[in-house]
Each structure stands twice: as C-alpha cells, then as structure tokens.
C-alpha cells in the first residue's frame, strides 16, 4: 500500500476537522495556540422587537421604556446561534437588553414614534442604565439628548454601540426617558440589537 503525505490528500480522501462530529450547528473551530482548539459559535446575529401596547407618556421624571415584543414585525429568526431557539437579546417582561456573556459588543437602535406632545418639550433624554430596576440606582452607560418640538407624528431614531461587562450581564440594560419640559407620547417603539463580537473569542 502506497504511503501518501497528508498534505497531498484531495477531495474525498480528506477527513473532517477534529471534533466535528460533536460540534453543533453554527460553530467554527478556533485554535488555542497550543496545538489544539475548540468549537466556538460565530459572533453574529440580531433580534428586532416591536411594541404593540398603548401609548407611553414621558415627562420630566425619568420613566422606563417598555417594548413588549408583541408587534407583528418582531423577529428573532436570526438571533446569534449561541441563543437561537433558547434565549433572547431583549427581555419583554423586564424590558431589558440581555447580553449573552461578558465581553460581548453590540450595535443598538431605538425607534421611538412620537404621536403627540403637550407643554412644548424641546429636548428628550435617553439613558441606557445597567444599575438595576429603578432609576434611583442608575448606572447610565449611554446618554443621548435629542431635540423635539417637531410637528407630530414623527419618529426619534437613536443608534449606538455598547460593550458588556459583568454588571451588564448581572442587571441587564434598561432605557429611561425624560423630557426637559412638558410631555410626549410614544406609541409602538422598537429596538434592534445586532451582535458584533463575542466575549468567548
């Protein structure tokens, strides 16, 4: 029987990568620099969550933004493989971003349809808080100031990148909103969460 160098093997003579029989869908093999490696999930995927409840009123006191995910355009079909079919990037009960693990990074976009205003608000503040369940314990990692006072209806869209440490993993991330004066109503807001990198890599 002829001896053939492994580097010379082609097509059907080649074997699958080490451990492929036990690797689940969506994983790739990553070397560890020590002559071996392991199977990891690809750090990509997204979720989109649309609210389907009544209007939410925001005034000069910070209030929690709710997105119940019951809107017809909510889509979790393309979540990261690490949680697809078993988890979410947004908790529709607690209204929190739920990262997969520490070290992850994401792009986030909020779409806030303003349906009516009172008292002529001119500025709207959006806080992303990882401190807990009340604004009194807020640890705001993102703050955005958005001009208002346009003719309703109009939509405020705000996007930004985030990274997730241990506090974010423990508490999740909530959005607290407030006006500078007066109030405004937001109806059927939505959030888009797109995974950039995984803390596992």
pTM over 0.75, yes/no = yes
Among candidates 89, 44, 87, 66, which has minimal Cα distance to 192?
A: 89
pLDDT in tens, the chain (201 residues): 556 665 555 566 555 666 667 767 767 777 777 777 777 767 789 999 999 999 999 999 999 999 999 999 999 999 999 899 999 999 999 999 999 999 999 999 999 999 999 999 999 999 999 998 888 777 999 999 999 988 999 999 999 999 999 999 999 999 999 999 999 999 999 999 999 998 877
Instruction: Determine phi and psi for 122, rounding to 5 degrees.
Output: -115, -15
Among candidates 148, 153, 125, 154, which has minimal Cα distance to 61?
A: 125
In DSSP terms, 97 is beta-bridged to 90, 173
Going from the N-terminus, what domains does the chain have, and what CATH number goes with each? 6-41 (no CATH), 45-197 (2.60.120.1120)
- 187 in Cβ contact with 67 (< 8 Å): no
Distance of alpha carbon 181 from the chain centroid:
30
């Amino acid at each position: 029987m002829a001896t053939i160098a492994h580097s010379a093997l082609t097509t059907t003579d080649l074997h699958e990568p080490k451990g492929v029989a036990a690797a689940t869908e969506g994983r790739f093999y990553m070397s560890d620099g020590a002559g071996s490696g392991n199977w990891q999930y690809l750090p990509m995927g997204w979720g989109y969550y649309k609210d389907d409840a009544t209007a939410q009123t925001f005034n000069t006191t910070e209030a929690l933004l709710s997105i119940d995910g019951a809107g017809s355009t909510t889509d979790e079909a393309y979540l990261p493989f690490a949680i697809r079919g078993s988890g979410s990037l947004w908790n529709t009960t607690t209204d929190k971003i739920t990262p997969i693990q520490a070290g992850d990074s994401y792009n986030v976009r909020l779409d806030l349809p303003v349906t009516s205003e009172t008292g002529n608000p001119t500025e709207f503040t959006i806080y992303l808080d990882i401190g807990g369940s009340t604004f009194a314990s807020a640890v705001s990692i993102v703050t955005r100031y958005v001009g208002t006072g346009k003719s309703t209806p109009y939509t405020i869209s705000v996007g930004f990148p985030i990274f997730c440490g241990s506090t974010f993993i423990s508490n999740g991330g909530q959005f607290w909103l407030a006006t500078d004066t007066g109030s405004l109503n937001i109806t059927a807001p939505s959030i888009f969460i797109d995974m950039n990198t995984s803390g596992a890599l």
